[in-house]
């Protein structure tokens, strides 16, 4: 299996449990890795045989800058299920890492993140 990665996409959203998160908003980073077969695209140099990463970026942007989620787990799940649905037959699995670099938690830490892996194994 081959992989297409979109790393550290940055979005501004209003996700979180605390009221200030849904009013002030904050930055989020998203990385997605798509399990695909790129052999024919590589042989033909034809975009029709692979996943257009512009479309993946726009899908992630729509999720992250759209509806507010309380949990980053829910946002990551929505991204993964949307990718698998939109690119059915092209993407056989995906990993989504969603990073919340500045959550309102007192203390010293770099960031909080969730990473999920979803896939279709019957295709």
| Spatial contact of 26 and 12, defined as CB atoms under 8 Å apart | yes
| Helix/strand/coil percent split, the chain, to 5 | 35, 30, 35
Residue with tokens 């990073």: 99
- Give yes or no: 100 in active site: yes
Q: Which CATH architecture has domain 2-119?
A: 2-Layer Sandwich (3.30)
The percent of residues above 90 in pLDDT, for the chain, comes to 90
Q: pLDDT at residue 122 above 80? A: no
Domain locations in the chain? 2-119
Q: Given this model, what pLDDT does residue 105 score?
A: 87
Residues 31-85: pLDDT tens digits? 999 999 999 999 999 999 999 999 999 999 999 999 999 999 999 999 999 999 9
Query: Which range has the worst mean pLDDT, 59-63, 93-97, 101-105, 118-122?
Result: 118-122
Q: Which of 40, 95, 100, 110 does the annotation list as catalytic? A: 100
């Amino acid at each position: 299996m081959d992989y297409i990665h979109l790393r550290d996409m940055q979005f501004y959203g209003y996700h979180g449990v605390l009221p200030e998160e849904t009013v002030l908003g904050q930055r989020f980073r998203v990385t997605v890795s798509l399990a695909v077969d790129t052999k024919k695209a590589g042989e033909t140099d034809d975009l029709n045989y692979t996943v257009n990463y512009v479309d993946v970026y726009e899908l992630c942007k729509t999720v992250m800058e759209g509806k507010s989620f309380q949990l980053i787990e829910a946002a990551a799940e929505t991204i993964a299920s949307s990718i698998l649905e939109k690119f059915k037959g092209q993407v056989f699995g995906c990993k989504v890492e969603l990073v919340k670099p500045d959550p309102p938690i007192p203390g010293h830490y770099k960031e909080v993140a969730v990473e999920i892996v979803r896939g279709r194994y019957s295709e």
